[in-house]
């Protein structure tokens, strides 16, 4: 056996055990008990149009949604605009982009599915019950896994918020569009370039009613130029960046009055809640935020049904990103601390979305996909999530940073089960476009159509995966490559996001290191990346040597073919671009405060 790399194999076990202290809360009120992760087909939602995971219940209190859906969020909700004048309202796609995404000559023979894409934040591979966590209360997600397809080898190309979200919505490597290095901030001049074609634009051109609720984090820009209404979304309710990118020391994260942990980013405006391009509140009442998103989602679905058109909902939850928050029904209820309470509310939101779909009789007409942007932020310790047996977490190219839980649910179309096929968030745009009968944008895509895998008619066409660091450059190019069961690390670098693990290779003190030969792992036998096949005294087998050569060739080919777009982050910052509900007020930015009427 080759010598192990530094760091004990049981890293994930220790993290999960540390986080799971306390007795799990009984699941009454959240639906049926969690099915065994070893029995993915043991429980399946009924085809009668009801959701068996959480029928009509929102939270352990047994209350009906706690008011969710009781308040309509109009498409053009009026409030203070970004510029302080008339609300700008939603912006339609420009003519050149409409032509680029012109409808195919004939519509798909079958009605295209409604699509709900749920994107969690900083969620680890080992955080869900259906992925083996011993005490997470996630019955609705477990039910989704039991009745759908659970992915074991689903990845993101970069383990950081901004680039991961750009990849999800465009099907392109983030470096191609300049979404590097690091993340965008409230005062960033840059954002997702408007010439990029998003999944929302592809589907809107196909007749979908498109809406987004939650975290954007792909730039604001002058007059909100980069916000969702300019990127193909007819409706938007959410926060334009991470909810920690503003002062939070005076915010309530758990009712009635538990403050948010830490101070978050100081010297910035309070985080705004936007309805399209108008400010609804600054800051919003965090414990009530998920309920407002669910109400928005229910209205979108119902309006699409009334208009006899399909809908696309991008539900980008803030859970489980730090600082965690939740409503009253979940505070101190999970047995896993604030992180578990946040995760519990995320799970209940999934149940509420599924119930909304069922209430409209659309379960068999709606494809639901769940995944997350990157691995856990282990520097937060018990507030940072769990990567299970995988190495490291957010900010690294190790498995704990880039491998994500992923579920696909579509009764009558997707057979319940588990797939070990390689897949990526990059694949969602071409896959969903194919299912919707939509033409692909005329750009270089890095994703593949996985619809044969979802529908059980074939395998994943994806044979390889490429992973970039949070701060990439064209000289080094790709840091890690996976092909089949083998993964090679040509460069490694730790991250502050992955502090506190027992493995020093994860930490920020682990500087950028080139590996020649690369670190090579057989992920089918060693998913924790503990045993370098080229690092021991034993002679490498011909198969291993051939795998190394293949991975080196793949890296060389991709590096030669990818042109880095101009960095959007490097465009710098302008404090005047920070969204303020009272732009002419003083002293700035502290005066940017508009009370939330729902607090």
* 437 φ/ψ sector (left φ>0, alpha ψ -120 to 50, else beta): left
Residue 566, exposed/middle/buried by CB under 10 A (0-12, 13-18, 19+)? exposed
Residue reference for tokens 């009120």: 29
217 a catalytic residue: yes
* Burial state string for 463-472 with b = 16 or more CB within 10 A and e = fewer than 16: ebbbbbbbeb
Alpha helices in 517-564 (DSSP H): 542-561
- How far are the Cα atoms of 236, 270, 596 from residue 79, in angstroms, in the given order? 13, 16, 11
Give the residue from 153, 196, 154, 145 showing the smallest Cα distance to 36.
145
Alpha-carbon span 488 to 374, nearest angstrom: 19
CA dihedral 448, 454, 457, 461 (to 10 degrees): 20
Q: Are 481 and 466 in contact (CB under 8 A)?
A: yes
Question: Among the options 16, 130, 133, 161, which is catalytic?
Answer: 161
- How far are the Cα atoms of 13, 422, 424 from residue 158, in angstroms, in the given order? 24, 16, 11
Residue 412, exposed/middle/buried by CB under 10 A (0-12, 13-18, 19+)? exposed
Give the residue from 257, 250, 254, 292 showing the smallest Cα distance to 271.
250
161 a catalytic residue: yes
Strand partners, 6: none
For 93-98, which contacts have Cβ atoms below 8 Å and span 24 or more sequence positions? Answer: 93/201, 93/204, 93/205, 93/232, 97/197, 97/201, 98/205
Token pair in block for residue 238: 């959410």
* CA-based torsion, 327, 332, 338, 342: positive or negative: negative
Angle at 199 between CA 203 and CA 395, to 5 degrees: 160
Residue reference for tokens 């192990």: 4
Q: Are 183 and 165 in contact (CB under 8 A)?
A: no
Longest dimension (CA), the chain: 71
Alpha-carbon span 186 to 274, nearest angstrom: 14
Question: Among the options 217, 234, 243, 489, which is catalytic?
Answer: 217
Residue 250, exposed/middle/buried by CB under 10 A (0-12, 13-18, 19+)? exposed
Give the residue from 298, 283, 278, 166 showing the smallest Cα distance to 224.
278
Q: Are 247 and 270 in contact (CB under 8 A)?
A: yes
Residues 6+ apart with CB under 8 A from 526: none
Alpha-carbon span 177 to 172, nearest angstrom: 8
Angle between helices 11-19 and 337-359 (to 10 degrees): 80
* Burial state string for 190-227 with b = 16 or more CB within 10 A and e = fewer than 16: bbbbeebbbbbbbbbbbbbbbbbbbbbbbbbbeebbbb
Q: Which residues are marked as active site? A: 161, 217
């Amino acid at each position: 056996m080759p010598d192990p790399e530094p760091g004990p194999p049981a890293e994930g076990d220790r993290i999960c055990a540390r986080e799971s202290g306390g007795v799990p809360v009984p699941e009454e009120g959240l639906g049926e008990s969690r099915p065994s992760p070893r029995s993915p087909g043991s429980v399946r939602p009924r085809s009668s149009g009801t959701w068996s995971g959480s029928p009509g219940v929102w939270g352990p209190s047994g209350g009906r949604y706690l008011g969710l859906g009781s308040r309509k969020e109009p498409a053009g909700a009026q409030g203070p605009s970004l510029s302080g004048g008339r609300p700008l309202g939603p912006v339609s796609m420009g003519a050149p982009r409409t032509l680029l995404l012109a409808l195919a000559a004939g519509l798909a023979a079958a009605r295209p599915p409604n699509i709900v894409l749920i994107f969690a934040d900083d969620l680890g591979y080992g955080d869900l019950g259906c992925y083996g966590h011993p005490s997470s209360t996630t019955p609705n997600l477990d039910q989704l896994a039991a009745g759908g397809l659970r992915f074991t080898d689903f990845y993101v190309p970069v383990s950081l918020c901004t680039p991961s979200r750009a990849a999800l919505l465009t099907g392109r490597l983030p470096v191609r569009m300049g979404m590097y290095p690091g993340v965008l901030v409230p005062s960033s001049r840059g954002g997702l370039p408007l010439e990029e074609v998003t999944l929302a634009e592809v589907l809107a051109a196909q007749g979908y009613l498109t809406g987004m609720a939650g975290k954007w984090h792909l730039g604001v820009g002058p007059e909100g130029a980069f916000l969702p209404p300019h990127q193909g979304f007819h409706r938007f309710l959410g926060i334009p960046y991470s909810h920690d990118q503003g002062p939070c020391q005076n915010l309530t994260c758990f009712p009635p009055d538990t403050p948010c942990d830490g101070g978050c980013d100081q010297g910035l405006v309070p985080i705004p809640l936007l309805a399209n391009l108008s400010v609804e509140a600054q800051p919003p009442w965090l414990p009530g935020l998920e309920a407002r998103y669910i109400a928005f989602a229910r209205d979108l679905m119902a309006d699409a049904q009334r208009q006899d058109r399909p809908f696309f909902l991008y539900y980008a939850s803030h859970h489980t990103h730090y600082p965690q928050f939740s409503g009253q029904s979940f505070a101190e209820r999970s047995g896993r601390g604030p992180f578990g309470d946040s995760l519990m509310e995320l799970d209940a939101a999934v149940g509420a979305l599924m119930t909304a779909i069922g209430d409209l009789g659309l379960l068999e007409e709606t494809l639901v996909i769940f995944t997350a942007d990157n691995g856990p932020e282990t520097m937060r310790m018990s507030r940072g999530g769990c990567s299970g047996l995988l190495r490291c977490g957010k900010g690294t190219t190790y498995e704990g940073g880039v491998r994500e839980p992923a579920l696909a649910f579509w009764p009558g179309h997707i057979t319940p089960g588990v797939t070990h096929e390689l897949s990526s968030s990059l694949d969602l745009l071409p896959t969903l476009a194919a299912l919707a009968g939509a033409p692909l944008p005329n750009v270089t895509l890095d994703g593949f159509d996985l619809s044969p895998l979802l529908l059980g008619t074939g395998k994943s066409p994806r044979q390889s995966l490429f992973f970039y660091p949070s701060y990439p450059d064209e000289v080094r190019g790709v840091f890690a490559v996976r092909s089949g069961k083998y993964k090679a690390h040509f460069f490694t670098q730790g991250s502050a996001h992955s502090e506190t693990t027992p493995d020093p290779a994860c930490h920020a003190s682990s500087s950028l290191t080139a590996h020649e030969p690369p670190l090579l792992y057989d992920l089918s036998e060693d998913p924790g990346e503990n045993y370098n096949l080229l690092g021991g005294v034993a002679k490498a087998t011909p198969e291993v040597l051939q795998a190394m050569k293949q991975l080196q060739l793949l890296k060389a080919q991709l590096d030669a073919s990818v042109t880095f777009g101009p960095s959007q982050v490097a465009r710098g910052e302008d404090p005047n671009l920070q969204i303020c509900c009272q732009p002419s007020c003083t002293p700035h930015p502290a005066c940017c405060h508009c009370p939330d009427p729902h607090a």
